Structure 1
Amino acid sequence: MMTDIRIQDFSENSKPDNNNDFVMTFNDNSESKTRLRDAFYSIVPDGAQTHNNVFRGQNLGVLDATHIANIQNGTFHDMFVGDYFSINGSNYVIAGMNYKIGHGDNSSLGNHLVLMPQDWSKTPTQTLAPDSKTTRYMNDTDTTADGFAGSKLYQTYLPQIQTKLESDFGAHLMSFRTIVSTHVDASGAPDQGEWRDAKVSIPNEVMIYGTTLNGNNKNNAWYNVGDENSQLPLMRINDAERNFNRIGAIWLRDVHSASGFAAASNCGDGSWGGASGTWNGVRAFFLIG
């Protein structure tokens, strides 16, 4: 019996354990204890709608069968925005849940997580970080001809990133539909595009900032933004993610002009640069489920 014992008489737990901490409740002459995690889930129920609005930042370890089951059943139990998986030397952070549900021209996606590398995207042979000297990830020259679809990043680096992701996630790496610009008019604005299959892409400005900034949308934002037209929960909740935690600038897929693409600066400002610039790295996104 613990009746009449004061709260201040309990010893402090100097080594709290997230799995075994309890909260004590008192009602007249009775006491009870509830696991902290159970109390939390009674306030924040399972599901994408609630979990997309909680930032936690916990290491979930290696992706396992329990994680996959809780993604596929749509509960996303014990997974929150900012949590990350550690797989084969890479950390992959949860950027959102069911972000593309109902999207696409001819496909119906199941429940999924949107993941991004916690730092730079990796290929089987290199990490796609800028060195300010030789890393021309978007294009070898300052051109946006043929839109994002014509870029070196799209044609060369995304397939290499996909190879790394297929090794890390196997059959759980999902295919999705996304809109890709395929032509730029004389003023430097994309004016043609199409739906394409993808297993990996890079963000647009809206996914990072929640709005368009430097993309040239004269002919229609459809070509630059497509169906990924809302801010990722990770970017909405954690402001530091919008400037990549000061790690460095990253390329975005929005065409800015005949010579440059948009970028997300590590200083917090939306920017753009010539397509052959060496100051921007690559941080892709992809879906698992």
Structure 2
Amino acid sequence: MTDVRIQDFNENLKPDTNNDFLMTFNDGSESKTRLRDAFYSLVPDGAPTHNNVFRGQNLGALNATHITNIQNGTFHDMFIGDYFQINGSSYVIAGINYKKGHGDNSPLGNHLVLMPQDWSKTPTQTLGPDGKTDYMNDTDTTAGGFAGSKLYKTYLPQIQTKLESDFGAHLMTFRTVVSTHVDDSGVPDQGEWRDAKVSIPNEVMIYGTTLNENNKNSSWHNVGDENSQLPLMRLNEAERNFNRIGAIWLRDIHSASEFAIATSGGDARWNSASNSWTGVRAFFLIG
């Protein structure tokens, strides 16, 4: 074959970073593939490989093909950092099969872990830090553990309503450990497995280790089964400080009056439970 020009394949002639192609010729037929697409097509399907590749591509609205490829465990054409856009919200893939097989009674199957790309949108507001709203508690107390917090009892149900609207039956119920009591020194000493459709991260999910949570009575109360770092946080440094938008609450109890936080500066700290400069970035599962 001679005198073949890239413009003969009806591509935009305006140069840009997406106009690099791999061209193949076979028995007189020609085809072209973007080098970017060719690269990702070489990654074998499945959670072990796709959990270790950050792409950051817009997947558009969730559709039946996505769901099929989640449920069959191939996760074809879905990578860490890719995001769905649904009803005005963007949801980024933070992990693949992160909790598969977890739980105290009914182990989970294939799934994606998603997080709002920046903040958790409810039907009426965005839970970003505004200096006015006390998302965790109205007062500086951790009494009742994370289960006793205003965030758990009031704001997570609001976020769940938004997610149920966006994902319908594909929003999964999962089991997670929730602290329910703190001792006289402010350390969690009781917890239980509970059903959930949405929760907030712990320190391990963000940083890969415990830092400021108080585990004198066992890390089980703060960490539970979410005991490894989310691939999104491991592969993209910017996600660990939330693109410098602001600090977020973590569910780990630090003391009788403070919960752990992840800051926009990338450092791990803690805040008084009534701090109004700390926002909420939830996680949930679809499948």
Same fold (TM over 0.5): yes
Contact kept? 1:24, 1:31, Cα under 8 Å? no
Matches within 5 A, 1:173-252: 173-252=171-250
Matches within 5 A, 1:23-62: 23-24=22-23, 33=31, 35-36=33-34, 39-41=38-40, 43-62=42-61
Assess, with a 3 A threshold, how the Cα gap between structure 1 residues 124 and 42 changes in structure 2: closer, same or farther: closer
Matches within 5 A, 1:78-89: 78-89=77-88
Partner Cα separation in structure 1 for residue 96 and residue 87 of structure 2: 23
Residue matched to 2:118: 119
Matches within 5 A, 1:63-78: 63-78=62-77
Deviation at 1:193, TM superposition (A): 0.3
Partner Cα separation in structure 1 for residue 69 and residue 164 of structure 2: 21
Partner Cα separation in structure 2 for residue 42 and residue 247 of structure 1: 33
Deviation at 1:33, TM superposition (A): 5.0
Deviation at 1:85, TM superposition (A): 0.6
TM-score (norm 2): 0.91
Assess, with a 3 A threshold, how the Cα gap between structure 1 residues 274 and 146 changes in structure 2: closer, same or farther: same
The residue identity in structure 1 corresponding to 2:230 is L
Partner Cα separation in structure 2 for residue 248 and residue 38 of structure 1: 34
Deviation at 1:17, TM superposition (A): 10
Deviation at 1:110, TM superposition (A): 1.6
Pick one of 157, 160, 163 that aligns with 1:162.
160
Deviation at 1:35, TM superposition (A): 3.2
Contact kept? 1:139, 1:152, Cα under 8 Å? yes
Structure 2 alignment gaps of length 5 or more: none
Partner Cα separation in structure 2 for residue 98 and residue 216 of structure 1: 28
Pick one of 272, 278, 281 that aligns with 1:280.
278
Structure 1 alignment gaps of length 5 or more: none
Matches within 5 A, 1:112-151: 112-132=111-131, 134-151=132-149
> Is 1:14 aligned to residue 38 of structure 2?
no
> Is 1:265 aligned to residue 263 of structure 2?
yes
Partner Cα separation in structure 2 for residue 260 and residue 70 of structure 1: 41
Assess, with a 3 A threshold, how the Cα gap between structure 1 residues 160 and 38 changes in structure 2: closer, same or farther: closer
SS at match of 1:85: strand
Residue matched to 1:108: 107
Deviation at 1:15, TM superposition (A): 5.6
Partner Cα separation in structure 2 for residue 48 and residue 15 of structure 1: 35
Q: Paired residues, what number? A: 283
